[in-house]
Chains A and B, each alone.
Chain A
Amino acid sequence: MLRVKDLESGYGPMQVLWKPSLQTKKGAITSLLGPNGVGKSTFLSTVFGSVKPWGGSIYYEEKDVTYMPTHKKVEMGLALVPEGKHLFPEMNVYENLVMGAYVKKASRHREESLALVYSLFPVLKERSGQLAGSLSGGEQQMVTVGRALMTKPQLIMLDEPSQGLAPLLVQEVFRTIQKMKEEIGLTVLLIEQNADASLSAADFVYIMHEGRIKAKGSPEEIKGSPEIREAYLGI
């Protein structure tokens, strides 16, 4: 579905990505694992277009989208849940969610998307009139995920959704990601540091180190290889 080949990018003179390649399979959860500062977020930003690629190619549904501007990618069905909670703090929960249905294609399905988000996160329905800035960390994360779902994506990319959440909530987040795959049939690209949790959730895993893909395989293969675990994951 998404096919990234030899992607290169960085900031100013500093190159961050050194030709990593990655593919997602339709209806599956693909996870990109690695510790802090290896370029995972840069990878997502480059795929999504907020950081300009220097080289390589990005194909989505067999279409070259390497240099396509971000807002067009959203219309094509890509969604990004950015790292940290990028909410609109002065809007209430409902307004935040509706902002997600901004692009034309998504606004046609606004009501059904909203029902879907509320069924996935019932607590958001209760909180719909509350200002997003006043929610708890976990609830804010739900709003960011819900808002991304409102764009009616086929592929959703999550940038460290478990960051800064209590262990119980982390489990909740991963359960939701499973649900998105199983109940809605979404394709998921998950970026995580939390190796344990994402190894159990993912269908296929890539391991990134210093801007390169160092290993890939099914979670079982990764777990079964002591070298990979020790060298890159520390578990």
Chain B
Amino acid sequence: MSSKIARYYPLIPVYAAYLILFLIGRNVTGMWQLMAMLVFYCAIGQAFNIFLGMTGYVDFGYVAFMGIGTYGMALSISHLYQIEGLGMWVILIGAVLAILMSGALSVAVGAVALRLRGAYFAIATIGVNEGFRFLIEGAKIWGGSEGIIFSGQFTHIFGRKTASLISTTWADIFVILVACLGAFVTLRFMLGKIGYALMALREDEDAAKVMGINVTKYKIIAFITSASLVGLVAAFAWGLKLTYLFPDEIFDISYTVECIIIVLLGGAGTLLGPVAGALIYGLSKYWLTIILPGFQLLIFAPIIIVIVVAFPEGVVGVLKRRVRGTVLEKFIV
């Protein structure tokens, strides 16, 4: 029994990091927004890691799942606000809708693009977010390019005070919970049969096939899981928090790039990696914006190049090798 529990020890540092971020945010004045941003980066990193980290496939259209997840929340609130007594349930419905919609989109994208290998998959997915944005804008689906502004309906449901509490506090707490869920799912995958299948296909897809692994099935499972998780993150972090959405903002490719940076920086395929990557990326972005506003990207690019060259396995990848054979080995995966 104790060895079974010991398999879950790697969650401790991850959850400890989230708890520390939460406590700093609650107790240090003016820190909540920064902590919320860091947790948001942790959450999207964790979600993206399930796909990129475990399969080795890069999806450049990843932000499309965040966009569609935000629509899930927005549609739920803007359409159901007149139903009396729905209260908190409207958020749950929005969350479920976000998971279903991003999951469905990932099935559609995956069914086509996952037939391609490696770099070809990456190229095929580049256009997904732009294509989807133009579809919404051009066909005037869900308000077209005007987006959905649902702050009015939102206050109508909850009243001014509760609505503002949800937006400023609970939305971020929900993101923390999704980040916890993401870490748990990642570890479950790693410990289970699926983890071995994904590891094998990441290293050599042909060899994995020859071992009797249904590679397509596992790729699609990882893809759907990753997409629905990030859809859920965006539903809270963008939908619930901002209570409006504009297609050109939520389909912005820079979030995909941020996901990639976070995962590679921290260590692709590791559990703690996305957290480490998110903290390093988020904090340096924050400080650089303060110290040298406007120059942060210019400075950030070479820093990332240096880190990727110096630690190709990411920070946690290096750490993992260092702690091999020590007590810490059980905690860092």
A residues apposed to B, CB below 8 Å: 48, 50, 69-71, 73-75, 79-82, 86-91, 99-100, 102-103, 106, 147-148, 151
With A99-B196, A102-B197 given, is the CB distance from A151 to B211 under 8 Å? yes
A75 and B215 alpha carbons, distance in the complex (Å): 14
A89 interface neighbour in B203, B211, B212, B215, Cβ under 8 Å: B203
| B197, B203, B207, B210: most-surrounded residue (chain A CB, <10 A) | B210
With A88-B200, A102-B197 given, is the CB distance from A71 to B214 under 8 Å? yes
Task: Give 6 nearest A-B pairs by CB, closest first.
Answer: A74-B212, A86-B207, A103-B212, A88-B203, A71-B214, A71-B212
Q: What are 7 contact pairs spanning A and B, CB under 8 A?
A: A69-B214, A71-B214, A75-B212, A81-B210, A102-B200, A147-B211, A151-B211
Residues of B within 8 A of A74 (CB): 210-212
Residues of B within 8 A of A99 (CB): 196, 200, 208, 211
Identify the closest chain B residue to A89 (Cβ).
Answer: B203
| B196, B206, B212, B213: most-surrounded residue (chain A CB, <10 A) | B212
Does A50 contact B203, Cβ atoms closer than 8 Å? no
A50 and B193 alpha carbons, distance in the complex (Å): 23
The answer, yes or no, to whether B209 is at the interface (CB within 8 Å) is yes
Does B211 contact A50, Cβ atoms closer than 8 Å? no
Which B residues, 165 to 197, have Cβ-Cβ distances below 8 Å to chain A? 193, 196-197
CB distance from A56 to the nearest CB of B (A): 21
With A102-B196, A102-B197 given, is the CB distance from A91 to B211 under 8 Å? no
With A71-B212, A100-B211 given, is the CB distance from A86 to B196 under 8 Å? no
Does B197 contact A50, Cβ atoms closer than 8 Å? no
| Chain B: interface residue total (CB-CB under 8 A) | 17
* Interface majority SS (helix, strand, loop, mixed), chain B: helix
Does A80 contact B203, Cβ atoms closer than 8 Å? no
B210 interface neighbour in A70, A89, A91, A106, Cβ under 8 Å: A70
Residues of A within 8 A of B208 (CB): 99
A151 and B211 alpha carbons, distance in the complex (Å): 7
With A102-B196, A102-B197 given, is the CB distance from A86 to B212 under 8 Å? no
Residues of A within 8 A of B211 (CB): 74, 99-100, 102-103, 147, 151
Does A91 contact B203, Cβ atoms closer than 8 Å? yes
The answer, yes or no, to whether B204 is at the interface (CB within 8 Å) is yes
A74 and B209 alpha carbons, distance in the complex (Å): 9
Does A82 contact B212, Cβ atoms closer than 8 Å? no
Residues of B within 8 A of A103 (CB): 211-212
Given contacts A48-B210, A69-B214, A86-B207, 10 further A-B contacts (CB under 8 A): A70-B209, A73-B212, A88-B200, A88-B203, A89-B204, A99-B200, A106-B212, A147-B207, A148-B210, A151-B212
Residues of A within 8 A of B193 (CB): 102
Does A86 contact B200, Cβ atoms closer than 8 Å? no
With A74-B212, A100-B211 given, is the CB distance from A82 to B206 under 8 Å? yes
A73 and B210 alpha carbons, distance in the complex (Å): 9
Identify the closest chain B residue to A91 (Cβ).
Answer: B203
Identify the closest chain A residue to B193 (Cβ).
Answer: A102
CB distance from B113 to the nearest CB of A (A): 19
Does B203 contact A90, Cβ atoms closer than 8 Å? yes
CB distance from A160 to the nearest CB of B (A): 15
Identify the closest chain A residue to B203 (Cβ).
Answer: A88
Does B207 contact A50, Cβ atoms closer than 8 Å? no
Identify the closest chain B residue to A81 (Cβ).
Answer: B210
A80 and B213 alpha carbons, distance in the complex (Å): 13
Residues of A within 8 A of B203 (CB): 88-91
Identify the closest chain B residue to A147 (Cβ).
Answer: B211
Identify the closest chain B residue to A148 (Cβ).
Answer: B210
Identify the closest chain B residue to A84 (Cβ).
Answer: B206
Residues of A within 8 A of B196 (CB): 99, 102
Does B210 contact A80, Cβ atoms closer than 8 Å? yes
A182 and B215 alpha carbons, distance in the complex (Å): 34
Identify the closest chain A residue to B212 (Cβ).
Answer: A74
Residues of A within 8 A of B199 (CB): 88, 91
Which B residues, 2 to 49, have Cβ-Cβ distances below 8 Å to chain A? none
CB distance from B267 to the nearest CB of A (A): 13
Does A88 contact B204, Cβ atoms closer than 8 Å? yes
Does A71 contact B213, Cβ atoms closer than 8 Å? yes
